[in-house]
Amino acid sequence: MSASTYPFLLRSIGTRFNNGSNGLLKAYKGGKHNGLTLRSCFDSSHKKPDQKAQALSHHHKKIVVAVDIDEGILLLLGNFVSALNRFIADRYLSNHSVSDYHVYEFFKIWKCSRNEADIRVHEFFKTSYFKKGIHPLPGAHNTLHKLSRYCELSVVTSRQNAIKDHTLEWLDMHFPGLFKQIYFGNHFALHGESKPKSEICRSFGAEIMIDDNPRYAEECANIGMEVLLFDYENSYPWSKTESVDRHPLVTRVHNWEEVEQHILSLIVSKC
């Protein structure tokens, strides 16, 4: 969808909700605006950008979207693994690149026990590498801001309760007011109970999940959710699993622009 579509898209949505059920038709003389004919969302030709905008204006209820934050928002929103690698190199004299992470299980990459890997990650959480070295990915804020107009966005992260406060501060700094709720799975934690992402998503009615981890993607797709498997610029080796690509509810995306396009299409398909 081209950038020029959005002014029309957002005007349509704003008119629809500000003027009531007949507002959209009143705003455009003869059902046209700038030469664009307004059609029903049941029209078979609604897949064109202008017709997608028209269909979105009739979508009364916001679609509920769950967003991961590590290698999705980080990843997805920022660069968690890159910051972690810098810490591991300086603290343990073990050098790795993002391309080494063919699985998202750090003990296999670092050649240590699972328990040792968990301890190293928790050490990382206490350092400036984690607290100051992670920044949002290009396009994340812009896309999420646009989507928030017709999606209800919540964060669902596997992050541990031990870093909850820092995570909330980071999100408030980079994405203020965009997320309705922040849910922590507490996976790989040294203490406390963990919850599957699928269970968390089901608890608040999420319909779409954005995540970089194939295991979580398949888990959520298996309960009927649409999943966008995030593989930033095709650079996440841990996300490249053929089995999950065959799942009918999983779509691979490579940047935030593709996320935006796919979610728009999914909303239209539900119209």
Our answer to whether residue 68 is catalytic in this structure is yes
Q: How far apart are CA 33 and CA 173, in angstroms?
A: 38
70 is catalytic: yes
Contacts of 67 (CB under 8 A, 6+ apart): 73, 76, 77, 144, 153, 154, 155, 156, 179, 210
Which of 39, 35, 34 is closest to 57 using CA atoms? 39
Using DSSP bridges, classify how beta strands 250-253 and 226-230 pair: parallel, antiparallel or unpaired. Answer: parallel
Cα gap 267→271, rounded to integer Å? 7
CA–CA gap between residue 2 and residue 23 (Å, rounded)? 25
Residue whose C-alpha is closest to residue 171's, from 163, 211, 204, 188 = 163
Helix H segments across 93-150? 106-110, 114-125, 128-132, 140-147
User: Active site residue: 70, 211, 212, 231, which one?
Assistant: 70
- Identify the residue whose tokens are 């049941």: 42
Residue 8: strand, helix, or coil: helix
Query: What distance in Å separates the CA atoms of residue 64 and residue 207, rounded to the nearest whole number?
Result: 5
Write down the catalytic residue from 43, 50, 68, 212: 68
Residues annotated catalytic, as ranges: 68, 70
